[in-house]
Amino acid sequence: QKEVEQNSGPLSVPEGAIASLNCTYSDRGSQSFFWYRQYSGKSPELIMFIYSNGDKEDGRFTAQLNKASQYVSLLIRDSQPSDSATYLCAVNEAYSSASKIIFGSGTRLSIRP
Amino acid sequence: DAGITQSPRHKVTETGTPVTLRCHQTENHRYMYWYRQDPGHGLRLIHYSYGVKDTDKGEVSDGYSVSRSKTEDFLLTLESATSSQTSVYFCAISEPPGHEQYFGPGTRLTVT
């Protein structure tokens, strides 16, 4: 069974601090890794994707990938109350048809003022 | 949600009735997916399509069927709705070679 594991939280972070979200995956053949943000009552929104080992930065967001450890993380710098949401980690299913991806259950992030 | 719509957005139906949910895209993406999202289970794949008239089952396909007669439309049918199918249903689209998926706004279905 291919799995993507996340701590469900809630993760509480003070405003202006760095929020660190983590994810592990079981499928060693996976090549594409995604972070989605989902506000309560809304649909998931793609915020970052990463394909290569190392860091990828986009504004206040940094995705980190370590394929050897099967570990993906998302850092949010200068956290804002608007960052309060559930963050879903997703990983492509290796060798699957139709670009299927597997989602973790999500980490709920709360930014306290 | 740009380019992907779902209808209806909310529906309440009775056990045993058939229900059809529609996903419509204007992005001309080849792949389309139906997920359900429930507390404690995250997003689970119901069915997916890799082209017109080409569909396959996901991990929770029992009790659901799909059809795709046009690139832009992907229909999900609950043949005889049960209370366990009360959920939020999301449609997603993707275009190779990338694997990233983009989601529609969702349909909240309640089966009483």
Q: What is the pLDDT of residues B49-69, one digit of tens each?
A: 999 999 999 999 999 999 999
Residue A99 has its nearest CB partner, among B56, B90, B99, at: B99
- What's the pLDDT tens digit per position in A33-57? 999 999 999 999 999 999 999 999 9
A26-45 residues touching B, CB cutoff 8 A:
32, 34, 42-45
User: What is the per-residue pLDDT across A98-111, written as a single tens digit (0 to 9) for each?
Assistant: 789 999 999 999 99
Q: How long a stretch of residues is chain B?
A: 112
B1 touches chain A (CB under 8 A): yes
Q: Is B30 exposed, middle or buried (0-12, 13-18, 19+ CB in 10 A)?
A: middle
Rounded Cα distance, A56 and A54, in Å: 7
Determine contact, residues A70/A63, Cβ cutoff 8 Å: no
Angle of CA points B42, B33, A39, to nearest 5°: 40
Kindly state the DSSP code that residue B96 receives in the 8-state scheme: T
